[in-house]
């Protein structure tokens, strides 16, 4: 079924590249949700300067192409923060750039979700003697997070797809793994002769694997969306 020349390539991609992609996506997702929910909740405060600062954060990281953010972070020279010398490697640069972008998306979605909770909920919780923090933590956010679930699944799909941009700085994610193997094959390093349709097959395989991961997730997001309304 699988031609001989393709088997080592596919195995390498699935063994080396795919875990890297999924790990990068997991790091970015967790960081995005943690930072994003916090910033989004703070954005509903009435304190102007804080709101403007978070708004600036959101608009900058949402507005920049992710590739530009990744290159910017990656090519910055190392610098000292107190006693530590900070120099991000490719993997950390990509994780940071994806998290900045993702947390901006989550912050904006959280703000919308929190503001969509009726005012009566705030008032009822206040009447029961909840302070601001416990009101947010026990009354508002649990409801808001349920509304956030479909967009979060959508965000996961976007993050998984956007990990491919880390290709640009040499992170060995799934697309990079495929390309490296493609170069090995065409330069004859693997000792096997690849047919002329090799690039077609390899990039088709990359697309197929991404599709198999992302399609169920987009269906899930659509299903959650429908069940909520």
Partner 1 sequence: MFHRAVRILASFEWSVIWDNRGPLWDGFKSTMKAGVVGIVLAYAIGLALGAVRAHRLPALNQLAATYVELIRNTPILVQIFFLYYGLPVLGIHLETFTVAWLSITIWGGAFMTENFRAGFEAVPNRLREAGYALGFSPLRAFLNVTLPIGGRIALPSTINTAISVLKNTSLLLLIGYPELTYVANNVQSNTFRTFEMFTALAIAYLAIVWTLSALIRFLERRLALPEAL
State the residues that interact with partner 1 by CB under 8 A. 59-60, 63-65, 67-68, 71-72, 75-77, 157, 161-162, 164-165, 167-168, 175, 179, 182, 196-200, 203-204, 206-207, 210-211, 214-215, 218
Nearer of residues 133 and 229 to partner 1, judged by Cβ: 229
Instruction: Return d(Cα 40, Cα 45) in angstroms, integer.
Output: 9
Q: Which residues pair with 85 in a beta bridge?
A: 80
Supply the minimum distance, in Å, between the C-beta of residue 117 and partner 1: 22
Smallest separation, CB 28 to partner 1 (Å): 14
Nearer to partner 1, 34 or 60 (CB): 60
Q: Burial letters for 106-140: b for 16+ Cβ neighbours within 10 Å, e otherwise?
A: bbbbbbbbbeebeeeebeebeeeebeeeebbeebb
Smaller CB distance to partner 1: residue 72 or 223?
Answer: 72
- To partner 1, the closest distance from the beta carbon of 217 in angstroms equals 8
- Smallest distance from partner 1 to CB 208, Å: 8
Strand 84-86 relative to strand 79-81: parallel, antiparallel, unpaired? antiparallel
Q: Does an H or E element contain 201, and which?
A: helix 198-228
Q: In the complex, what is the shortest distance from the CB of residue 77 to partner 1, in angstroms, rounded to a whole number?
A: 7
Report the run of H or E that residue 84 belongs to, with start and end.
Answer: strand 84-86
Which CB atom, from 116 or from 218, has the smaller least distance to partner 1?
A: 218
Residue 149 phi, psi dihedral angles, 5° rounding: -55, -50
- Residue 6 or 167: the one with the smaller Cβ distance to partner 1 is 167
């Amino acid at each position: 079924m699988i031609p001989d020349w393709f088997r080592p390539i596919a195995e390498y991609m699935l063994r080396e590249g795919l875990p890297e992609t999924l790990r990068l996506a997991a790091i970015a997702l967790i960081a995005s949700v943690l930072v994003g929910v916090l910033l989004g909740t703070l954005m509903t405060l009435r304190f102007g300067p804080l709101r403007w600062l978070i708004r600036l954060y959101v608009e900058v990281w949402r507005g920049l192409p992710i590739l530009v953010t990744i290159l910017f972070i990656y090519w910055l020279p190392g610098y000292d923060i107190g006693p530590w010398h900070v120099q991000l490697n490719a993997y950390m640069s990509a994780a940071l750039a994806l998290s900045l972008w993702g947390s901006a998306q989550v912050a904006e979605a959280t703000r919308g979700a929190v503001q969509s909770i009726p005012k009566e909920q705030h008032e009822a919780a206040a009447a029961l003697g909840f302070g601001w923090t416990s009101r947010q933590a026990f009354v508002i956010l649990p409801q808001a997070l349920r509304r956030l679930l479909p967009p979060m699944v959508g965000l996961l799909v976007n993050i998984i797809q956007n990990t491919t941009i880390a290709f640009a700085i040499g992170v060995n994610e799934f697309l990079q793994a495929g390309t490296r193997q493609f170069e090995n094959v065409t330069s004859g390093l693997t000792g096997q002769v690849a047919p002329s349709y090799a690039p077609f097959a390899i990039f088709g395989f990359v697309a197929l694997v991404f599709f198999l991961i992302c399609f169920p997730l987009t269906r899930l997001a659509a299903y959650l969306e429908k069940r909520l309304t």
